[in-house]
Amino acid sequence: MAFILVVSLVGCGGKIEENDGAEITTIMKDLATSVETGIGVPRTTEEALKYIRTRVDQSAIIKAYAPPTIVRTNPAIHVNRLLIRAGYDINRKLFTTSWALKHDDKTSAWTLSSTSFRDIQRNNLRYKPEDALIAALGRMGYSTFMSLEPDTGWGSPDDVFPLLAKTFQALVDDDQQTLLSVTVSGALLRAGRKGIDLGRLIAVDVPDMEFDPKGATDYLKERVKHTSEIMKYCQAEPDDILPYINAYSVGSMPEHCNRVTLSIEFSNPDKGKGMTVGKRAMMGFTVEWSAVRLKDVWLIDDMIINCLVTDTAKSLYDH
């Protein structure tokens, strides 16, 4: 059963209760309606789409603006900025849509500060291959994909929420076996060990590119190292960080959407006052996680935590 941990912020004037998931989702849906109807599209969005429409069909743009449903799972902490990115695989073409939102502390309302839409070109995939690798997993046959499941179980069949806590704990504990079970990198590594021809699946997007198992292994190790460094700097226990990891979840995914990334910035709602994470005072705290849903299974693509501190303090945990 999923659980929510409540955290208190230093200097808060009262109880924090931010049930903003429906509001955030509505803002994204309103933009999708504007893009579909052509009415009320923000000027910068329309200018960007004008060039994209020369190479991308309008129907694909409409599908790629259909947003995931965002759910606030821990309303007891203050969020002041939120960046949501969603990945789409439409007719074997890859797209990314993002929505940047800012919280107005005076009105307690969210506003859309910017949005972007990108069709991912093959030359970009050579330098940032994660989209092609995720697409390759999605193009496996169902039985092949499910054969990657180890005896201990993997991913999450219903909800990404419990998977976030499980992944974070595995990063803290340097539990490589669990990371192999719950992450995209782990699924790719297991596919390689089973002799599945990932190169053939990747070639749909990037011909002649191969999966690099060492790179995937090193990536997981780097994330473990970074998590350890931030936990040490904050003098924090996992229970100090989990409330931030579990701030939001994903309720539902639109058709063609296979990936959701949330970059979340937390702060004290009392302007000018800092917050405390673990035993460390700081200006703010950030969490970014990326989750992928393939064949009705959730996997974590990435998870990273960071402190927003002064330049002087930052130098202490950068070394």
- What is the distance between the alpha carbons of residues 85 and 261, in angstroms, rounded to a whole number? 5
- What is the distance between the alpha carbons of residues 75 and 51, in angstroms, rounded to a whole number? 39
For the chain, the average pLDDT equals 88
273: confidence class by pLDDT, cuts 50, 70, 90 = confident
Share of the chain above pLDDT 70, in %: 90
- What is the distance between the alpha carbons of residues 317 and 238, in angstroms, rounded to a whole number? 18
- Identify the domain containing residue 303 by its residue range: 21-317
The token pair that represents 62 in the structure block: 């409409």
DSSP 3-state of 25: helix
Q: How much is the pLDDT for 317?
A: 41
- Mean pLDDT check: name the lowest of 63-77, 185-199, 303-317: 303-317
pLDDT digits (tens, 9 = 90+) for 111-120: 999 999 998 8
Q: How much is the pLDDT for 234?
A: 96
pLDDT digits (tens, 9 = 90+) for 130-149: 888 999 999 999 999 988 87
Q: Angle between the 184-193 and 213-234 helix axes, to the nearest 10 degrees?
A: 150
**Whether the predicted model's global pTM rises above the 0.85 cut:** yes
Any domain includes 8: no
Any domain includes 5: no
pLDDT above 70 for 57: yes
The token pair that represents 193 in the structure block: 């060990």
- Mean pLDDT check: name the lowest of 60-64, 79-83, 123-127, 146-150: 123-127
pLDDT above 60 for 96: yes
The token pair that represents 156 in the structure block: 């999450």
pLDDT higher for 261 or 92? 261
* Residue 269 near residue 79 (C-beta atoms within 8 A): no
The token pair that represents 227 in the structure block: 């998590």
Any domain includes 12: no
154: confidence class by pLDDT, cuts 50, 70, 90 = confident
- What is the distance between the alpha carbons of residues 275 and 109, in angstroms, rounded to a whole number? 21
Any domain includes 297: yes
Count structural domains, the chain.
1
Q: How much is the pLDDT for 125?
A: 75
b vs e for 306-315, b when ≥16 Cβ sit within 10 Å of the residue's Cβ?
bbbbeeebee
Any domain includes 7: no
pLDDT digits (tens, 9 = 90+) for 194-215: 999 998 999 888 888 889 999 9
**Mean pLDDT throughout 6-12?**
37
Share of the chain above pLDDT 90, in %: 68
